[in-house]
Amino acid sequence: MRYYTVYDVTKESYPYSWILLLSVGTLVVFLVLWRIDKKQGGACSSRHRWIPFAPPFMGVWIVLFILGTYVPFHDMRQSLMQGKYTLVEGTVQDFIPGDSGDHSDEELNCPGFPGDSRM
């Protein structure tokens, strides 16, 4: 059997929503600055030449942020709600942390879990 350590995402909301809102707010500010610059004929000073590049950069940032954080969160939540994972509660014993160098899985023992209690 193979086990995955998953916290109960059905009881939690999306933990990075504040970063997403801040990013969207920043995108709106950049779009407003870009629009003001376009109304002035695009004659922004040399200090503000970055303005036309900021909205596309923020748009790409938001898309990558959603793909990197929300999609895995949503998938994990759906898997738990569809019964692909089972929540196990109990006292953890014999915890062996995963190696951060090669990202090996952590191991733990949770007595009282039916079947193989080694995770």
pLDDT in tens, 19-32: 889 999 998 988 88
For the cut 80, the answer to whether the pLDDT of residue 88 exceeds it is no
Domain identity same for 37 and 51: yes
Domain identity same for 1 and 34: yes
Domain identity same for 41 and 29: yes
For the cut 70, the answer to whether the pLDDT of residue 15 exceeds it is yes
Domain identity same for 61 and 116: no
Who has greater pLDDT, 88 or 78? Answer: 78
The overall average pLDDT reported for the chain is 77
Domain identity same for 81 and 95: no
Domain identity same for 41 and 81: yes
How many domains does the chain contain in total? 2
Query: What's the mean pLDDT in 80-99?
Result: 78
pLDDT of residue 1: 47
What residue numbers bound the domain in which 105 lies? 88-119
Closest-CA residue to 16 (of 88, 68, 57):
68
Domain identity same for 80 and 106: no
Residues 6+ apart with CB under 8 A from 73: 9, 14, 15
Domain identity same for 94 and 76: no
Q: Is 14 exposed, middle or buried (0-12, 13-18, 19+ CB in 10 A)?
A: middle
Domain identity same for 20 and 62: yes
| HSE-up (13 A, CA, CB side) for residue 69 | 14
Identify the sign of the CA torsion 42, 48, 52, 58.
Answer: negative
Domain identity same for 11 and 41: yes
Report helix, strand or coil for 94.
Answer: strand
Structure tokens at 59: 């748009």
Domain identity same for 81 and 107: no
Give tens-digit pLDDT for 39-57: 877 666 666 677 778 888 8
Domain identity same for 55 and 16: yes
Query: What's the mean pLDDT in 93-105?
Result: 74
